[in-house]
Amino acid sequence: MAVHVVNEARRCLNCKNPMCRQGCPINTPIPQMIQAFLDNRIDEAGAMLFANNPLSLVCSLVCDHDKQCEGHCVLGRKGAPVQISSIENYISDSYFDRMKIERQPSNGMRAAIIGGGPAGITIAIFLARMGYGVTIFDAKEKIGGILQYGIPEFRLPKSILKRYQNKLKQLGIHFRPNTAIGGAITIDDLFRDGYNSVFIGTGVWRPKTLGIKGESLGNVHFAINYLNSPDNYELGETVAIIGAGNSAMDVARTAIREGARHVTVFSPSAHPKASIREIEYAQIDGVNIVCGKSAVEITEEGPIIADMTKDADGNRIIHKETAELFKADSTIIAISQGPKDKIVSTTGGIQTSSSGLVTTDDEGHTTREGVFASGDVVAGARTVVEAVYYSKKVAEAMDEYMRGVKDSQK
């Protein structure tokens, strides 16, 4: 039987110093939300969730709750913590479609949002509420970024993203799909066309490579590419996955659902990097996880796997003398992603780090006036809730900047 969220909510002690809130990266008002819910004020509970975090409905499903809110609940010290994620999900899901987001009258200014992932959606909602005209440009067909093209359906139903798309439309936000900025249209074109500021939230989509022989073979793929459209891949019965973070677990569990029978994840470290929850679910799905091993080469017959350890300085050492073929029909490399440089290479004045991430200050100002950035393209591969948290601050900085520009034109 499903969890009864009412029973879970009744377990909450309404702590004076709620540790759950401190554990939440976006400081969700958890005890207040639970109290409003128990007092039959569910819309009030929903309103406080969305005012604080426009992606509450998504975060209730995909955050690492064991480490965050639930991991900090005092009840977890001696027993089970309150299942905050289920309560938040119930409230957000019931409230979402009837939520009316108030919009200030148009202030005559426009913002261009490049990238419709969690960072871009957050900025778009905050700026639209303040009265800005907002257009989201995305290289892909649908909004959501990794939520749409990375996290699998069994963890985050795509219908939720459709509901977000409708909500953005109700707010008057324009969406230009299939439009990669840095191609036919550049940031300079956006300023030419009257956008008062530009936001870059393009995430990290360039797969990191192992730098070993065999990565370009026909039966070798990268995690982010595979998760984009798993139905297009014929992986065969036996699949080897190199890397053991959350993306690797998503790939493994998707491959099993797509028909693979033997899926093995090779973790370079002694403990897989993925969250315990994701590891447990992957194992329940039948995924085999092997620790302390990585690939030294990939062949058409499968990867050549060797032991891996760390020296006293934490550097990884591969023991080539232990190398042996692991027979697999396909190999998937899942060792994270870095940024693409399409925008930066077509726009002057935007500084990046040595790894290509966009350089900003704490409020998201890039080194080019009027251009802001946040999310994974600034911080590297992180989480949805972190992208939302920083983007809230950046939306305020964009508002301040655009109002300044308007005042200087008076």
CA torsion angle 386 389 391 392 (round to 10): 170
DSSP single-letter state for residue 365: B
Distance CA 284, CA 278 (A): 10
In the window 95-114, what residues touch ligand SF4 (CB under 6 A)?
A: none
CB of 33 to ligand SF4, least distance (A): 10
Q: Which is nearer to ligand SF4, 21 or 167 (CB)?
A: 21
What is the C-alpha separation between 213 and 252, in angstroms, rounded? 23
Question: Is the distance from CB of 318 to CB of 306 less than 8 angstroms?
Answer: yes
The residue among 84 and 204 lying less far from ligand SF4, judged by its C-beta, is 84
- Rounded Cα distance between 114 and 112, Å, is 6
For ligand FAD, the closer of residues 11 and 162 by Cβ is 162
CB 201 within 8 A of CB 377: yes
Amino acid sitting at position 117: G
Please give the size of the binding site for ligand SF4, defined by CB under 6 A: 14
- Taking the C-alpha atoms of residue 279 and residue 84, their distance in angstroms, rounded to an integer, is 21
In the list ligand SF4, ligand FAD, none, the entry touching 383 (Cβ below 5 to 8 angstroms by class) is: ligand FAD
31 binds, among ligand FAD, ligand SF4, none (CB under 5 to 8 A by kind): ligand SF4
Binding string, 38-77, against ligand SF4, x = CB under 6 A?
A: -----------------------------------xxx--
Residue type, 325: L
Which of ligand SF4, ligand FAD, none lies near 245, with the C-beta cut-off 5 to 8 A by kind? none
Closer to ligand FAD at the Cβ: 215 or 278?
Answer: 278
Residue 332 vs residues 244, 294, 303, 328, 380: alpha-carbon distances, Å: 11, 12, 10, 10, 21
Judged by CB under 6 A, the chain residues 1 through 40 that form the site for ligand SF4 are 12-15, 18-20, 30-31
Which single residue is written with the structure tokens 């540790």?
A: 19
Residue ranges binding ligand FAD (CB under 6 A): 62-63, 114-120, 137-140, 145-146, 150-151, 180-182, 201-203, 205, 224, 227, 246-247, 250, 342-343, 375-377, 382-385, 387
Residue ranges binding ligand SF4 (CB under 6 A): 12-15, 18-20, 30-31, 73-75, 82, 84
